[in-house]
Amino acid sequence: MISEVVIAMCTEMAENVRVETRENTQESQNSRSSIENRELEEKSSGKKKVLERLKQIQKFIRDPIHDIVKVDNDLLLSVLDSEPMQRLRSIKQLGTAYLVYPGAEHSRFTHSLGVYHLASSLMNQLELDGHKIDDYDKLVVKLAALLHDTGHGPFSHLFEAVLKEVDYKFVKKHDSWSKKLIMEHKSLAGLFDKYDEALTLKRDVTDVLSNSYKPLYLSSIVNAQFDVDRLDYMLRDSFMTGVNYGRFDLPWIFRNLSLKRVSEPDEDRRMVEVERITLDARRGLSSLEEFLLGNLNLYEHVYYHKTVQAANGIIISALIRAIDLMREGKDLGVSSKALSRIAKSEEMEIDDYLELTDGTVISWLTKWSLSEVDKILRDLSHRFLTRNLFKTIDLTDLSGKENACFKIRAEVEKKLNQDGWNSRYYCIGIDSDRIGYTPLSADEIYVTQKDGTTRRYSEIVFEKDGNEVSKAIVMRLKLRRSLLVLPEEYLKFANEVKKGWTT
Partner 1 sequence: MDNMSIFERIDKLGALLSAASPEGKIESKKKLHKLVYLLQQTGEDFDEDFIFYHFGVFSPTLAGDLEFAKNAGQIRIEEPQGNDWGYVIKLSDKLPGKPRISLSDSAKKLVQHLADREPQLLETLSTIVYLNRNYYRGSALAQKLRDLKPDLSEHYSEAFKLSRELFQIDIES
Note the residues at the interface with partner 1 (CB under 8 A).
32, 36, 39, 157, 160-161, 164-165, 179, 183, 203, 206-207, 210-212, 214, 216, 223, 225, 264-270, 272, 274, 313, 316, 399-400, 405, 428-433, 435, 438, 440-443, 480, 482
Cis peptide before 215 (omega within 30 of 0): yes
Please identify, using beta-carbon distances, which residue of 161 and 322 lies nearer to partner 1.
161
| Cα distance between residue 88 and residue 230, in whole Å | 18
We find the least distance from the C-beta atom of residue 71 to partner 1, in angstroms, to be 27
We find the least distance from the C-beta atom of residue 66 to partner 1, in angstroms, to be 26
| Cα distance between residue 351 and residue 186, in whole Å | 10
Residue 177 has, within 13 A of its CA and on its CB side, a CA count of: 27
We find the least distance from the C-beta atom of residue 255 to partner 1, in angstroms, to be 26
SS3 (DSSP) at 249: coil
Please identify, using beta-carbon distances, which residue of 250 and 473 lies nearer to partner 1.
473
Please identify, using beta-carbon distances, which residue of 439 and 466 lies nearer to partner 1.
439
Helical segments of 263-305, H only: 281-298
We find the least distance from the C-beta atom of residue 145 to partner 1, in angstroms, to be 17
We find the least distance from the C-beta atom of residue 270 to partner 1, in angstroms, to be 4
Please identify, using beta-carbon distances, which residue of 227 and 289 lies nearer to partner 1.
227
Question: 24-30 contacts: CB < 8 A, separation 24 or more?
Answer: none
Beta pairing partners, 260? 276
> Is the CB of residue 279 less than 8 Å from the CB of residue 223?
no
Please identify, using beta-carbon distances, which residue of 61 and 183 lies nearer to partner 1.
183
We find the least distance from the C-beta atom of residue 5 to partner 1, in angstroms, to be 36
> Is the CB of residue 427 less than 8 Å from the CB of residue 494?
no
> Is the CB of residue 152 less than 8 Å from the CB of residue 89?
no
> Is the CB of residue 458 less than 8 Å from the CB of residue 474?
yes
Residue in 355, 333, 145, 135 with CA at minimum distance from that of residue 232: 145
We find the least distance from the C-beta atom of residue 137 to partner 1, in angstroms, to be 14
Q: What are phi and psi of 279, to 5 degrees?
A: -110, 135
Burial class (CB in 10 A: 0-12, 13-18, 19+), 113: buried
Please identify, using beta-carbon distances, which residue of 39 and 351 lies nearer to partner 1.
39
Please identify, using beta-carbon distances, which residue of 243 and 320 lies nearer to partner 1.
320
We find the least distance from the C-beta atom of residue 441 to partner 1, in angstroms, to be 4
Please identify, using beta-carbon distances, which residue of 239 and 462 lies nearer to partner 1.
462
Q: Strands 56-63 and 478-486, how do they pair?
A: unpaired
| Cα distance between residue 428 and residue 409, in whole Å | 9
